[in-house]
Amino acid sequence: MKRIYSFLVGVAVIIASFGVSTEAQAQYCRPQLMPGFWGQGITFFRFGTFSRNSPGTDYANQTGYEYFTGATLLAARNTPITTQITTNAFGTKGYSIWIDMDQDGIFTTAERVLCVVDYSFSPTTFTTTVTIPCTARTGVTRMRVFFMTNQGACPADPCVFPGFVQGECEDYNVEIMGDFVSSFPNDAPDASAILPRGNTYDGSSADRPKPSMTLRAGRAS
């Protein structure tokens, strides 16, 4: 009886191990500010349809690191994703974004999808687009948004605040989906081109084009 019980426990452990996602098992590095250098951070972040206003308690802490698990952001490969970052900082600001595209628990140089320096003196909203390549593995993974001051460069190491800087690092869960390829009459994924209402678009004439759409399915993960 004891042997049977031990066997069943072992099977349960194996099943539980396979049931946990790669992202959940991953142990990502956590950068930490130098003592006393907290207070400047990200006050607003937008990524596609997701947006979040950050209260002061997010960045008014010694570590400068936060991991937000309340929502999973969506991101299609090969599609420009509108991204906005607002901070409360004055002076030069550097921004970097990493996405763990192979889901191995490590942010590499090749996985940095944004690297920019904002030289405006006052707090501003930086707006850009981020595109995830077709080679990224589909499924849920981690995204890191890294901001720092007083360096004149974008963050280069996802695991370290370099010396005497202020800033904040925010992590989010993001689900990478199959990429958008093309559509007609508009190649934009938001399908902003509007055809006149009431017509039949069957391709019978040049002003009655037949709409079409092509999607590439993501591979199983």
Does 47 fall in a domain? yes
Least confident of 107-111, 157-161, 193-197: 193-197
Does 187 fall in a domain? no
User: For residue 170, how far is the Cα from the chain centroid?
Assistant: 10
Q: Which residues pair with 46 in a beta bridge?
A: 51, 84
Domain count, the chain: 1
Does 162 fall in a domain? yes
| Predicted TM-score of the model (pTM) | 0.71
Does 19 fall in a domain? no
Q: Is the pLDDT of residue 2 over 60?
A: no
Convert the pLDDT of each residue in 44-72 to its tens digit.
999 999 999 987 666 666 688 999 999 99
**How many Cβ atoms from other residues are within 10 Å of residue 105's Cβ?**
15
CATH number of the domain where residue 96 is located: 2.60.40
Look up the domain containing 112 and give its range. Answer: 37-177
Does 44 fall in a domain? yes
Does 3 fall in a domain? no
Does 69 fall in a domain? yes
Distance separating alpha carbons of residues 140 and 87, to the nearest angstrom: 27
For 59-119, the DSSP string reads HSSSS-EEEEEEEEEEEETTS-EEEEEEES--S-EEEEEEE-TT-SS---GGGEEEEEEE-
Does 141 fall in a domain? yes
